[in-house]
Amino acid sequence: MHFFKIFAIMPLFTAQRKWAEMQTRGEFERAKETLDALVRALQELPHAHTALVSVRHALGSSAHELDAEVSLSIADKDVVLLVELKKTVYPRDVRQILWQLNHARNEYATNRKQDVVALIAAESISVGARDLLRAENVGFFDRGGSLFVPAKGAYLYVERPVPKTLEKSIRSLFTGKRSQVLHALLVRHRHWVGVTELSKMAEVSPGTASETLTALEQMEWVSTRGQGPAKERCLADPSGLLDEWQTQVQTSRRSLTRRRYYVPGTDADTLAHRLASLCDATGVEYVLTQDAAAQHYAPFLSSISRVACRVAPGKAAGDVLANLEARVVTEGANLDIIETVSRSEFLFKEQKERLWLASPVQVYLDLLRNEGRSRDMADHLRKEVLGI
């Protein structure tokens, strides 16, 4: 990396006709604020000075009109930044505009005989979009402070966390009803599904399924085929989606709400079957999860000492625990009860050896929140059962 100084910054507020066509004044103001933030970020670098503000006309024969031009002097080299302004940028957005950016950059460099860097400036840019832009040698800036300028002979890269607005938007995919859509897609990650079929599988409204799929398309986690009512989707990157869900689980401050019990005179396998029998007899919905379920899907340990179980709360669940003679303990527990109000965690449950198990996807996510060898069990389950 070369050390450099920026001696002049000339922001050129451009494409006025394009900006005038923006639907709202608020949209125009946000775009201008993003450009101002880019200029300030460059000005705040050592020895940076504002030089000129001007208006740029259409770029040669290019049909695509960029929003701004910033001229820099870097390490005694003149570099021009051709800036495209966006609100939020996902990988799909990058692919849609990449050709225009490269075309504008090449045309400008040919006509002006100057070093040129195409750059996207936005309120927020997803991690996947950043990676794609770097791979394509296209610069970027977002309001969180991330800045990438791949100039020849000089290189500027400032990485900041994804802005909270985008982080919150992504996080919302992995909670509530939307997470049920993701769960369904991962369970059938090799299959094409339509909105109606997916909504039934995930037990959500068609509107929720459609909105979630649109968000996943932006992240390039799903592929599409067909049009209109016949349109179908399939996970294009199940590994990437599950990796992001893993990240969301591991960075979340929310832990599983559980109560720990000791049930006398029984090993884990016997306890699991006694618990299952009592739940079935009293109509209590349950699923085994974490170590107990993982051992049935893909044996990993020689033995386990604790059974984790998700149950629907209520008086009947309390009666089951009373019949087991379970008592609350702070250590030495052999039974963890995770009271589960939502339907999400019970979706796609499977029965093995007369035991209801949470789906492999749910077991994987629950293992990530556990201690001990559970992380190793999660990796084993993902490889042997999920195949993602």
Per CATH, 167-251 and 258-386 having the same topology is answered no
Exposure class string for 26-51: b at 16+ Cβ within 10 A, else e: eeeebbeebbebbbebbeebeebeee
If one counts every other C-beta atom within 10 angstroms of the C-beta of residue 261, the result is 20
Give the pLDDT score at 238. Answer: 93
Give the pLDDT score at 31. Answer: 83
| CATH class name, domain 258-386 | alpha beta
Count of alpha carbons within 13 angstroms of residue 357, beta-carbon side: 19
What is the token pair recorded at 359?
A: 């789906």
CA-nearest of 110, 86, 102 to 150 is 102
Q: CB under 8 Å to 167, separation ≥6 — which residues?
A: 161
Q: What secondary structure letter does DSSP report for 65? A: P
Sequence spans of domains, the chain: 6-162, 167-251, 258-386
Are residues 48 and 42 in contact, defined by beta-carbon separation less than 8 angstroms? yes
What is the token pair recorded at 148?
A: 């990438």
Per-residue tens of pLDDT for the chain, all 388 residues: 443 444 444 444 444 445 445 556 667 788 888 888 888 888 777 655 434 333 343 444 555 577 888 877 766 777 888 889 998 898 888 988 888 888 888 888 888 767 888 999 999 998 889 999 999 999 999 998 999 999 887 788 888 888 788 888 888 999 999 999 999 999 999 999 999 999 999 999 999 999 999 999 888 899 999 988 899 999 998 998 999 999 889 887 666 788 999 999 889 999 999 999 999 999 999 999 999 999 999 999 999 999 999 998 889 999 999 999 999 999 999 999 998 888 889 999 999 999 999 999 999 999 999 888 899 999 999 999 999 8
Give the pLDDT score at 342. Answer: 86
Q: Three-state SS for 344?
A: helix
| CATH class name, domain 167-251 | mainly alpha
Q: Three-state SS for 269?
A: helix
